[in-house]
Chains A and B, each alone.
Chain A
Amino acid sequence: MTHSAAHVSYLEDGHTLRSWLLTTDHKRIAILYLVAITFFFFAGGVAAFLMRYNLISSHGLLGSAETYNRLFSMHGILMVWVFLVPAVPVTLGNFLTPLMLGARDLAFPPLNLLSWYLFIVAGFVALYAVVAGGVDTGWTFYTPLTSLYSKGHVVAAFIAIFIAGFSSIATGLNFIVTIHKLRAPGMGWYKMPVFLWSLYATSVILVLATPVLAMTLLLVAFERIFGIGVFDPAIGGDPLLFQHLFWFYSHPAVYVMILPGFGVISEIVPAFSRKELFGYKFIVWASIAIAVIGFLVWGHHMFVAGTSLFSAIVFSLLSYMVAVPSAIKVFNWIGTMHKGYIHFDSPMLYAIGFIGLFTTGGLTGLFVAALAADVHLTQTYFVVAHFHYVMVGGMVSAYFAGLHFWWPKITGRLYPEMWGRAGAITIFVGFNLTFFPQFVLGYLGMPRRYFAYPQQFEALNLLSSAGAVVLAIGYLLPLGYLTWSLLYGDRASANPWGATGLEWSTPSPPPTENFAVTPIVTQAPYQYEQPEAVIHE
């Protein structure tokens, strides 16, 4: 690789709109994605906030069940497909994969840009479906409600998800090839940071599972448009077939959402404990195990749906199996903190919040994996709380942890640390206030997706809605101070946290070509020296 006297940072390398919209630089594409998913996150968040507003009163404050049904459908569709599934891979993954590998870019830079355009088209088709009148089927699209009875803009929503799927597949393929082919000299598989292993496992799931969803949506669309009987028994179909196909994608998709989060946490905990990651290989292979077993547990969404006794028992057992690798990870993170030198900067606070909330989400997963308990709890607010602890308490916290950790690298700026800590704590408190009461509501029998509900559930709903206000403030804080830091934040050094990893060996923000000289890797990751390493001042 050639030297040039002045390395232009990727942010300075072109200031026109064109230089952004036609870029193939993985770092710029990551920024494009960051802007897009932030927008969709807040759009989905507004829907959630209106739902919590509605549920303050048992009569439903919005006044219309149709509006409420459309809000929770919109919330689910936006959050799952244009926020949670892509969030970490397309922002942090895009930005960091070549940097962590010591590479110049992803394997297929133009394909990366195409992924972004597909994603944007998908997002706006989804928004069109909302603006045109919305969808009232829930994000799970159960048939024959969705295929024949719903009056919403189902086909538009399907087109959005279908296109987003191609974006996912292209991104996953790009990561797989990049990780196989573009590792720096000396970087064997076991010298890769865990973040990349997680991203690799995620990408394999994306490439294998997404096509099933695409085919399923096509079949529903055929039934809806042409009346071809696939899922509606009145015209010769089978309604349970849809659920099998849908969850065959959507359960692995849960791991698509959470695995990159595991990767982020596995980077941050060692960095702020100043200590090597405990059980590197176990964490790595736990990710792979989750990716594999995750394909074999979809039936646990259907324990009361009318599947056979035998299938319920097999899927229950497999669901417990898939929880084991997650438990292994939690113990290893705690093992990493043991005898460390722990610093409590914002990324670490988010990471600790993640471990607590994810563990709670995982443990309540044991409730719904136990067959007889699931019969009572499924389709109630217990399940809503359970997956929000994993997806929001877990995944969104991990995303924020990663965003704060790599923010100086991405933007070249430091955010105000006290505000960062305040944000982490506000989100943790607001989250628990919002969702913990929902476990109780679920145990007491309150069904999901009810616009109005019996009065006995009102007090706990009020508490949950009050928590949502705190949580909303918590999410607005980073939006405020991170944006502020872009203009007024202190300049960041190349390695403000004193972290290991190739991405910290190049300036912040990195030059367009990433590294002046291709790095040669000789060490295993996470070789933190104790105890005198300097954390930024």
Chain B
Amino acid sequence: MNGYWPSATTEGREVDVLLLALLLVSCAVLALVFGLILLYMIRYRAGSGVSRGERSHKTWRFEISWTAATLAIFFGLFIWGGDLYVRLFQPPADALQIYVVGKQWMWKVEHQGGQREINALHIPINRPIQLVMTSEDVIHDFAVPAFRIKHDVLPGRYQTLWFQVDRIGVFQLFCTQLCGVGHYTMTGEVVAMSQPDFENWLASGAAPEGHEDMAAAGKDLFTAHGCSGCHGEGGVGGSPETTGIAAPALSGLYGRSVKLQTGATVTADDKFIRDCILTPDKTPVAGYPLIMPSFAGQISEEKVLRLIAYIKSLKSGSRT
């Protein structure tokens, strides 16, 4: 069990404390239940002459007390488990984002620098890591038991999972959502390295044939798929005068609020940009005609991620 215990993350160790508390509560209740059953089996067996005394007819006092005790213990466990879950759910703002795409039956990982790996994830220690995950086909689940975390990876959505590892080591990675015949082969490893080693790995070890920064790769796609034809070079936006068509500016878009024709206001996050590319009719931006074609089926999930990386990299300003 390479580095399984204690857990390699702070939150993982807290999960273990919670599990220990649950175990102790369970043992206490089991001791009570089995103890009383055994005691009564012996003491009140049919052949035993022990005095049974008065039979108690008023049961509600017992009922109220054990119901109240059960409720109190349960409520405590609920609060404990919920509080920790809320922290597991919300990543720190400065987390390093790494992209994960699941498909039958492999994990494909891409770093922001464009380094790609399969069934492996290299990370630096002592730094919050946020995985942005999606699937090309069915539902998978990215699980690292040594960190006590897992999350389903769904097609058509971006799910995130964050953790911060404080120990160098190699940890097992499993898919834990049945995804077909090869489900059991969809395993890999998470390699936690020191920051300098990680930087060396990024610089040399990852992709021997050379790799391109995700945003730079996205820029090429932006031109190749004709995005720039309407949205303008550098995503400055289009108008009948410049590109011949009114198209919203993409520079500075990321993280901003966008008003839709439905009246709703949404935040332009990864998922929103993905939807705009693949199902533009579902996210009609206020003030623009509905003419953007769907790119569903033409651009793989990995390329969408690169386009998003490019759009993220575009700073605001060039056009109002």
Contact = CB atoms under 8 A, between A and B. Distances in A.
Interface of A: 60, 65-66, 69, 136-138, 140, 142, 144-145, 149-150, 232-234, 236, 238-240, 273-275, 278-279, 282, 303-306, 309, 312-313, 316-317, 320-321, 323-324, 327-328, 330-332, 334-335, 337-344, 352, 355-356, 359-360, 363-364, 366-367, 369-376, 378-380, 443-445, 447-454, 456, 530-531, 535
Interface of B: 1, 4, 11-12, 14-15, 18-19, 22, 25-26, 29-30, 33-34, 36-37, 40-41, 44-46, 52-53, 55, 59, 62-63, 66-67, 70-71, 74-75, 77-78, 80-86, 88-89, 104, 137-139, 141, 143, 145-146, 148-152, 154-157, 159, 172, 174-184, 187, 279, 296-297
Nearest to B12: A376
Contacts of A375: 15, 85, 88, 148-151
Contacts of A274: 46
A108 B191 CA distance: 65
Contact of A137 (B14, B37, B178): B178
A342 B41 contact: yes
Given A282-B59, A328-B63, A449 B152 contact: no
Contacts of B45: 341-344
A384 B172 CA distance: 21
A363 B26 contact: yes
Given A233-B155, A316-B78, A359 B29 contact: yes
Contacts of B156: 233-234, 238-239
B85 A376 contact: no
A55 B263 CA distance: 56
B85 A371 contact: yes
Contact of B15 (A306, A376, A445): A376
A536 to B, nearest CB: 12
Given A273-B44, A282-B63, A341-B46, A370 B183 contact: no
A474 B12 CA distance: 40
Contacts of A273: 44
Q: Which of B25, B26, B80 has the most A CB atoms < 10 Å from its CB?
A: B26
A145 B139 contact: yes
Contacts of B36: 334, 337-338
Contacts of A238: 156
Contacts of B53: 339
Nearest to B27: A363
A296 to B, nearest CB: 15
Contacts of A378: 150, 176
Contacts of A340: 40, 44, 52
A342 B62 CA distance: 21
Nearest to B86: A309
A363 B159 contact: no
B177 A376 contact: no
Q: Which of A363, A373, A448 has the most B CB atoms < 10 Å from its CB?
A: A373
A441 to B, nearest CB: 11
Contacts of B89: 309, 312
Contact of A239 (B40, B70, B139, B149): B139
A337 B44 contact: yes
Contacts of A374: 81
Contact of A372 (B1, B29, B88): B88
B17 to A, nearest CB: 10
A240 B159 CA distance: 13
A145 B138 contact: yes
Contact of A138 (B15, B80, B178, B279): B178
A1 B44 CA distance: 43
B92 to A, nearest CB: 16
Given A304-B141, A334-B33, A445-B145, A312 B85 contact: yes
A331 B64 CA distance: 11
Nearest to B19: A373
Contacts of B155: 144, 232-234, 239
B172 A535 contact: no
Q: Which of A145, A313, A375 has the most B CB atoms < 10 Å from its CB?
A: A375
B44 A341 contact: yes
Contact of A370 (B18, B40, B149): B18
A149 B137 contact: yes
Contacts of A379: 141, 143, 150, 176-177
B67 A320 contact: no
